[in-house]
Amino acid sequence: MSSPVGAVAPAPFFPARRPGGAPGLALFLNAGDPPLPVLRELVAMLDEEGVDCLELAVPFPDSVTDGPTVRRSARRALDRGGVDLDDVLAFLADVRPHLKRTRIALLADWRYSLGHRDLAAATRDIAAAGADGLLVHALPPRLREEHLGSAAEAGLPVVTTCYSDSPPATRAEAAARASAYLYLVAHYGRSGTAPAAGHAALARTVTELRAHTTAPIAVGFGVSTRQHVEAVGASGADAAIIGSAAVAAVEAAQEAGRDVTEAFRAFVRSVRPEQP
């Protein structure tokens, strides 16, 4: 296994799984959907409920990798205003010190949020705000080493990604570069769609990736129910990532005029497997 010089040691985003235990749980939301004051309450609730990780995106428009649910969410957040990178970092700096369990991985799009900034300075700002990890969306390959070096210098673990059907060398490199966790995308397509063979069928891929990383492996795309989370666990992965279904729960609560935090609490409890 290889890793970049000065790589950050893997961070414990997800607790070690007990034999037969459920995988960890990560939930994706766009900052600003719900509005930041409501989101602050929601994040505190996630910590109370023992959710391991929040993937918090700085919203950006017209993502080609996301399905309509996530794209609507980003558009709602952007239309409300007040959710650029600086706003989200201020929000993060406010909420992160109060969390006892839930860790926050920031997702930022290169073109929309980072490309016009000095990468090293932006990475330091993200680390200083309290992010536990960073996932850069659509990072140009030519900047990969600079990104990894900047993150290592800032002491900020990185989330890397690969598809289950990526070439073996691509998967191995992504695994070796992960220091927060490796996001294994269940299949090629847009968020919200599930692999035809089911998530448990990723077991061989997960086993192969273990040879290249000591970071946790989290599986996403098409994970929306307790049964899907259990299937991810059956693959041997460390955690399941729920994106579109989590965003849809927020959307439904807002459209119905319900308490978003309490509606989302019910969603969390509905998808989390029972511990043996």
Burial class (CB in 10 A: 0-12, 13-18, 19+), 197: exposed
User: Cα–Cα distance between 202 and 164 in angstroms, integer?
Assistant: 7
User: Cα–Cα distance between 158 and 155 in angstroms, integer?
Assistant: 10
Burial class (CB in 10 A: 0-12, 13-18, 19+), 274: exposed
| Nearest in space to 201 (alpha carbons), one of 232, 241, 169, 240 | 232
Is 55 an annotated catalytic residue? yes
41, 49, 52, 55: which is the annotated catalytic residue? 55
Cα separations in angstroms, 248 against 70, 82, 137, 194? 8, 22, 21, 16
Q: At what angle are helices 244-256 and 68-80 packed, to 10 degrees?
A: 50
| Nearest in space to 174 (alpha carbons), one of 199, 139, 124, 198 | 139
Cα separations in angstroms, 197 against 35, 224, 235? 37, 15, 12
Burial class (CB in 10 A: 0-12, 13-18, 19+), 187: middle
Is 274 an annotated catalytic residue? no
DSSP annotation of 155 reads T
User: Cα–Cα distance between 212 and 186 in angstroms, integer?
Assistant: 18
33, 52, 66, 132: which is the annotated catalytic residue? 66
Cα separations in angstroms, 255 against 77, 210, 260? 14, 42, 10
| Nearest in space to 180 (alpha carbons), one of 22, 50, 53 | 53
Active site residues: 55, 66
